[in-house]
Amino acid sequence: MTSPLVVDIHTHVYPPSYMELLRSRKTVPYIHDPANGTPRLIILSSDDDPSVPLDERGRPVDSSYSDVNVKLSFMRRHGINSSVISLANPWLDFLEPEEAQVWAERINDDLEETCARVNQAADKENTLALNEKETLFAFGSLPLSAPNPDIVVNEIKRLKTLPHLRGVIMGTSGLGKGLDDPALDPVWAALQETESLMFLHPHYGLPDEAFGGADVTNRYGHVLPLALGFPLETTIAVTRMFLSGVFDRFPGLRILLAHSGGTLPFLAGRIESCIHHERKFVANGGDQPGLQKSVWDVLQTNIYLDAVVYGTAGLKAAVTAAGSPDRLMFGTDHPFFPPLDNDQDAEWVSVTTNYKAISAAFATDKEAVEGILGGNAARILSLK
């Protein structure tokens, strides 16, 4: 019996060039190499607490972040045939304008070279089908801090010429003013023109005050910002895009939302109701333009969702909002959420939980399960 194809579309890698960039920095984000021990990634401003010894700040960055062989071993351990790798947050948002283009090109070329090398080795077994070997593809990063949007547009177009790149990954800040910034229109136009998928991933979360202040946040570690801040950041960012008419102006824009769209599937009806009753819109007697598409239209035509939600209730909400399981794709969020005993060879609960949730949510629909595990990603991203 042939096993179904499994494609991981939410999995991160720090290629050598990105590691070099982070090691060259002394401000967030940066990597600190202790005299003894594992390098530390200081990724959030809250990680860079001067009261904490430098060797203890941030999180350990072991080989699972940057060694592609560790990624392949992880894939093999969890039955994953193909991974669409991408930089993890904060991508290139922090770069000075004059540095952005050079680093984006270098890092994207690095990702292409990594995928090409792995796939060339896999292709030697040319009799094997896609679900019988391990292959890599990638989402590129954009030089969003560049001084001219044309630089970003040109990189989007260049990525289409790289054989193993399948879209781009972005955060919610855009050019620094959010995703409803009109200055992003050339970027949306280029993504639409090139039919490039944009993977939207949170990073900035919500301020500590939303969770009760820094003391409360420190008391509970990363639970509040990761469990609640990230999903709400995504929801707010996409809703701002929607309210500003981005999806009306660019009806062909395709976006993959991390973590099953945050809380968007659950709150879509509430958002739609609030729009219907908002007096600021022309339709209700105000002076702000109305929207041609509903939230539901956008969810079912412009948006795809990963299945990184760790539960059947979340998956069912995601499918209901998306209108079909054909718009959901499996992901692991590797190398984040590793086993607590740091045994890289063990099964990762963060991964097996997603597998179990998909099986439980669609227990009577084998076709839906196979689509979410890999068939949908292979179709949407043209994985060959």
Domain 7-381: which CATH number of 3.40.47.10, 3.20.20.140, 3.60.40.10, 3.30.465.10: 3.20.20.140
Q: Write the CA distances from 161 to 112, 193, 320, 383, integer angstroms.
A: 10, 14, 36, 15
Percent of all residues in the chain with a pLDDT value above 90, rounded to a whole number = 84
How many other CB atoms are found less than 10 A from the CB of residue 69? 9
Average pLDDT score over the chain: 94
Query: For residue 122, what pLDDT is reported?
Result: 81
- pLDDT category at 24 given cuts 50, 70, 90 is very high
Query: For residue 216, what pLDDT is reported?
Result: 86
H-only helix segments in 94-229? 97-123, 149-159, 185-193, 214-219, 223-224
Global pTM reads 0.95
The candidate with the shortest Cα–Cα distance to 256, out of 200, 300, 173, 299, is 200
Percent of all residues in the chain with a pLDDT value above 70, rounded to a whole number = 97
User: DSSP string of 146-163?
Assistant: SSSHHHHHHHHHHHTTST
Mapping DSSP to helix (H, G, I), strand (E, B) and coil, where does residue 88 land? Answer: coil
Mean pLDDT of 149-171: 98
- pLDDT category at 236 given cuts 50, 70, 90 is very high
**373, HSE (Cβ side, Cα atoms, 13 Å):** 24
Question: Could you tell me which residues come within 8 angstroms of residue 125 by beta carbon, excluding any fewer than 6 positions away?
Answer: 132, 133
Q: Do the Cβ atoms of 58 and 43 come closer than 8 Å?
A: yes
Query: For residue 211, what pLDDT is reported?
Result: 92
CA 287 to chain centroid, in Å, comes to 36
Phi, psi of 85 (to 5 degrees): -80, 155
* H/E stretch holding 239: helix 230-243
Which value, in Å, is the radius of gyration of the alpha carbons in the chain? 21
Q: Answer whether residue 301 shows pLDDT above 70.
A: yes
- 320-361, pLDDT tens digit by residue? 999 999 999 999 999 999 998 877 778 999 999 999 999 999
Q: Answer whether residue 368 shows pLDDT above 60.
A: yes
- pLDDT category at 243 given cuts 50, 70, 90 is very high
Cross-strand bridge partners of residue 344 = none
- 181-196, pLDDT tens digit by residue? 999 999 999 999 999 9
- 105-136, pLDDT tens digit by residue? 999 999 999 999 999 988 776 555 666 779 99
DSSP state, residue 167: E
**358, HSE (Cβ side, Cα atoms, 13 Å):** 24
- 41-64, pLDDT tens digit by residue? 999 888 898 999 999 999 899 999
Query: For residue 127, what pLDDT is reported?
Result: 53
Q: What angle do CA 190, 196, 200 make, to 5 degrees?
A: 100
